Amino acid sequence: MATTEIASTVPAAQGQIADSCVMVIFGASGDLTKRKLIPALCNLARDKLLSGEFAVIGLATRDLDTESFRQKLSEEVRDDTTTPAEAAICDWLLQRIHYVQGSLEDPQAYQRLGAQIAAVSKERGIRANHFYYLAVAPRFFGEIVRQLGAAGLAREDGGNWRRVIVEKPFGRDLESARALNADIKQVLAERQIYRIDHYLGKETVQNLMVFRFGNGIFEPIWNRRYIDHVQITAAETVGVETRGGYYETSGALRDMVPNHLFQLLSLTAMEPPISFSANAVRDEQAKVLNAIPPLTHEDVLSRTVRGQYGEGIIGGAPVPAYRAEANVAPASSTDSFVVLKLNIDNWRWAGVPFYVRTGKRLASRATEIVIQFRRAPFMLFRKTGVGDLTTNQLVIRVAPSEGISLRFGAKIPGPLMRQGAVEMDFCYADYFGSNPSTGYERLLYDCMIGDQTLFQRADMVEAGWTVVTPVLDVWQALPPRSFPNYASGSWGPKEADEMLERDGRVWRETGTA
């Protein structure tokens, strides 16, 4: 089969084929394009979900043209292809990639972009549908949208659509998030704005709604009567690597909590939506975020922990402290570790704490949601050999090994009444197999078919920052005195363990099956 026919002649394996459209990547010469976006598009083409009437235009400041840009991507993408079929798919996509050189702040660059879109659309027979991916620093978000509006590239007419995917972080605090929302909405309607969170591209995250609302045994016990507490962890073994300059202006709290972790929290805690339509789901997520009482200044001191990694051992090799990383201040007070103890002030979750934890240079890489159920009454076992009852624990593993495990107690074989903990474990790859995935496939596809379910809405963004901003304010007013306060390769500062110990609880050994 000729490579020009790959995406158009075979029906999609599942779902509808994406609309005929042009994808424009701002900041196309950067790392995200080669590592995630182009491989994700190749995977969509492999699964027959891309239209044959499709093209990509990259815009960046680097002095490249279409041929040199294609050659650059070809060398980078081919390293990940393992079969001739995959190579053919990559070739098919590369022939549909074009490049425009220009500054993000230059109106002439947008005129050249418009001309390139028109020429490519005519050549490929593509409908006048465009979506723009802002793979750039956050300071350019508002500027790019303003320039698109001024050039007429955001205007929808004749039944065609224009959409913009905005990378995180969306704002630095509540005030800046509100300002950015207002700025963008001068040009775009909310239905055109796709605030992306790549965590929501994970199968396990998408499965949360199916798991909760499609199984009769879980939803009846998904509340304060049966659940003791919830732990949500996003742990990384890597440090800031080449992102020291960005991280110095962000830190773990800004970088991870109002987007990634609050998305996981809201999907875990939300009420059943009336349907799987985008706004029905996001209405329920927004209700959860609005039900989290912002922490007072006193709460911040007792219900949050921040940390910064020192030197240590990861994977048997020594690694430097955060302050020794490139583009990091020698006396930096930037947080690389965060714990928040939050409550959701509604009927379902009254009195159930949600412990949210994230950090870099930790003992293992894992993103998990832990549902810790209440302990059963012990009186029946008082005169047996059972010393303590195993508590039930449900673990939803988001990364790196996606799956779900359930811990419960069972009698140990023998003449005595003794109990042991056992686990039932489900792994996605074992049951359904696995295809190469970047986590961006579903998100790009959803943008092309107009499904905003897995993208943040303006009110959700602002609700998240409403919770986080008081913490930022207190931390700015009271600089940390003990940084660095945890060794690389550990599970963070001792204060994180002490917070749960005061509540009679412990962290799960994250990363274990």
pLDDT digits (tens, 9 = 90+) for 136-149: 988 999 999 999 99
The number of residues making up the chain comes to 513
Indicate the helix (H) or strand (E) that contains 418.
Answer: none
d(CA 258, CA 470): 12
Who contacts 421 (Cβ-Cβ below 8 Å, separation ≥6)? 390, 407, 408, 409, 410
Q: Is residue 508 part of a domain?
A: no
Are 178 and 269 part of one and the same domain? no
Q: Looking at residue 87, what is its pLDDT?
A: 82
Q: Is residue 509 part of a domain?
A: no
Q: Are 397 and 366 in contact (CB under 8 A)?
A: yes
Are 318 and 467 part of one and the same domain? yes
Percentage of the chain exceeding pLDDT 70? 89
SS3 assignment, position 5 = helix
- For the cut 50, the answer to whether the pLDDT of residue 513 exceeds it is no
Burial 356-372 (b: 16+ CB within 10 A, else e): bbbbbbbbeebbbbbbb
Q: Residue 201's closest CA among 387, 406, 367?
A: 367
30 is in an annotated binding site: yes
Are 266 and 183 part of one and the same domain? no
Q: What DSSP designation does 243 have?
A: G
198 is in an annotated binding site: yes
277 is in an annotated binding site: no
- For the cut 90, the answer to whether the pLDDT of residue 317 exceeds it is yes
Q: Looking at residue 1, what is its pLDDT?
A: 32
33 is in an annotated binding site: yes
251 is in an annotated binding site: no
Are 369 and 459 part of one and the same domain? yes
The CATH number covering residue 94 comes to: 3.40.50.720
28 is in an annotated binding site: yes
Q: Are 212 and 454 in contact (CB under 8 A)?
A: no
The CATH number covering residue 208 comes to: 3.30.360.10
- For the cut 90, the answer to whether the pLDDT of residue 368 exceeds it is yes
Q: Looking at residue 169, what is its pLDDT?
A: 83
Task: State both tokens at 39.
Answer: 């491989």
Q: Is residue 71 part of a domain?
A: yes
Are 254 and 305 part of one and the same domain? yes
CB atoms within 10 A of CB 487: 18
Where is the domain boundary, 158, 179, 196? 196
Where is the domain boundary, 196, 219, 239? 196
Least confident range from 18-27, 72-81, 499-508: namely 72-81
Are 320 and 357 part of one and the same domain? yes
Are 209 and 264 part of one and the same domain? yes
d(CA 171, CA 462): 9
Least confident range from 16-30, 239-253, 426-440, 480-494: namely 426-440
392-419: pLDDT as tens digits: 899 999 888 888 999 876 666 777 666 6
pTM score over 0.85:
yes
Where is the domain boundary, 164, 196, 228? 196
Q: Looking at residue 376, what is its pLDDT?
A: 65
- Catalytic residue status for 98: no
32 is in an annotated binding site: yes
Are 184 and 218 part of one and the same domain? no
Adjacent-strand bridge partners of 444 = none
Task: State both tokens at 120.
Answer: 């490519």
Q: Is residue 389 part of a domain?
A: yes
31 is in an annotated binding site: yes
Span 284-291, average pLDDT: 97
Are 139 and 20 part of one and the same domain? yes
494 is in an annotated binding site: no
Are 219 and 178 part of one and the same domain? no
Q: Is residue 231 part of a domain?
A: yes
d(CA 9, CA 392): 50
183-235: pLDDT as tens digits: 999 999 999 999 998 778 777 777 888 889 989 999 999 999 999 999 999 99
Q: Residue 80's closest CA among 131, 34, 120, 113?
A: 34
Active-site residue identified among 98, 130, 260, 297: 260
Counting the structural domains of the chain, the total is 2
Q: Is residue 513 part of a domain?
A: no
Q: Looking at residue 210, what is its pLDDT?
A: 86
Reported as a pLDDT band with limits 50, 70 and 90, residue 13 is: very low
Highest mean pLDDT among 168-172, 314-318, 385-389, 405-409: 314-318
Are 131 and 221 part of one and the same domain? no
287 is in an annotated binding site: no
Q: Is residue 140 part of a domain?
A: yes
Span 293-297, average pLDDT: 95
34 is in an annotated binding site: yes
Instruction: Give percent helix, percent strand, percent coil of the chain, each to the nearest 5.
Output: 40, 20, 40
Q: Do the strands 54-60 and 97-101 form a parallel or antiparallel pair, or are they unpaired?
A: parallel
d(CA 444, CA 276): 18
- Which range marks the domain in which residue 47 is found? 3-196
Are 31 and 159 part of one and the same domain? yes
27 is in an annotated binding site: yes
